[in-house]
Amino acid sequence: MVTSGNHGPPTLTRFSTSDPAEAAHVYETAYGRSVRLAAVPTGLPLRHDRWNAGAFCIDDVSIALDLRVQAEPLGYVLLAAPRRGCFGRRCDGVDEMVGPGEVAVLYQPDLPGSSWSSDLDVTCVLLDLSLIDQVARADPDRPLAPLRFVSFRPIRAEAEWRWRQTVRYAESVMAAGGAPGASPLVLGGLGRLLAAATLAAFPSNALREDRPCDRADAHAGTLRRAIAFIESAAGTDIGLVDIARAAGATPRAVQLAFRSQLGMTPLAYLRRVRLDLARQELSRATPGDGTSVAATAARWGFADPRRFAARYLTTYGELPGRTLHR
């Protein structure tokens, strides 16, 4: 299951069995005690691989058993994208089949559901609701209403493509290991990126709408407080809601303030501050102290050393390796 927050580097677990009792135990461990599994053995294995990053998990599952799942409310978001075979699902009065090349939200987080499948290869993504709250909360001091998806299917093909690309990217960062996979800033950013891609692809009640007070609060004071917070907390895992809370305004007001007065988003400003701090770290390094470009980039939230180097070159006119060895 997913848990609120990140708890160290992501872990990879692998399990395979053809025993129905063991399969039921795997499902209960992976998806919670609210999931009840009835399996009809075919003599072929169930394989379950999981990357667990705390607030989100990405599963690669191969099912040769005939599975019937009854789930009480999960309390998290579960999405499934079959690569081979298909599964059926029932929740909130909706019955449908999901096949290869498709993706769907499996259940409403706060409602029971059921599903059935046979001979299935599928990618599953689990998101803690705290991630949804971090990217969709309209008021930093007022939690979101219970999440409810309007549709279990993606709203547009482009949004679905972006969701898939985001999942692949998150999985590649975790699989690569090293400094990026262990960085709290990288993992926190990946979790919010997955949540934002999910909300963009699957229509829900978590919509952040403009309010009259947002434009009224998008003034220089809001911008000043937001900048002060970003510059003091850039080394911690912060997002837009944290910035808005410190600025005493809504996330939308903070976005409008940055866009109208600086021509950029708050998160773009945060990345620039972190880039400056990474440059300072590289500049202070001495021979033999163990400083590397990749580790420095990851420590400041940049998962891909190549993208970091390209951004660094564009901003400072030299590659980070030159700064390090100057």
pLDDT in tens, 91-107: 999 999 999 999 999 99
d(CA 254, CA 266): 7
Does the pLDDT value for residue 51 go beyond 80? yes
Q: What DSSP assignment string belongs to 68-114?
A: EEEE---SEEEEEEEEES-EEEEETTEEEEE-TT--EE-S-TTS-EE
Tell me the per-residue pLDDT of 201-216, one tens digit each, with 9 for 90 and over.
999 998 766 777 888 8
- Condensed to tens digits (0 to 9), the pLDDT of residues 281-297 reads 999 998 888 899 999 99
pLDDT tens column, 157-171 = 999 999 999 999 999
**308 pLDDT tier (thresholds 50, 70, 90):** very high
Local confidence band at 38 (pLDDT 50, 70, 90 cut-offs) = low
- Say which DSSP state 164 is in: H
Would you say residue 275 has pLDDT above 80? yes
> Looking at the predicted structure, is the pLDDT value of residue 6 above 60?
no
Among 60-69, 84-93, 289-298, 302-311, the minimum mean pLDDT is found in 60-69
SS3 219: coil
Mean pLDDT over 218-241 rounds to 97
**Residue matched to tokens 């499948």:** 117
Determine phi and psi for 101, rounding to 5 degrees. 85, 0
Domains of the chain: 11-140 (2.60.120.10), 271-325 (1.10.10.60)
Q: Hey, CA dihedral for 200, 158, 55, 46, is it positive or negative?
A: positive
What is the reported pLDDT for 228? 98
8 A C-beta contact, residue 279 and residue 316: yes
Looking at every residue in the chain, the average pLDDT score rounds to 91
Once rounded to an integer, what is the mean pLDDT over residues 186-192?
95
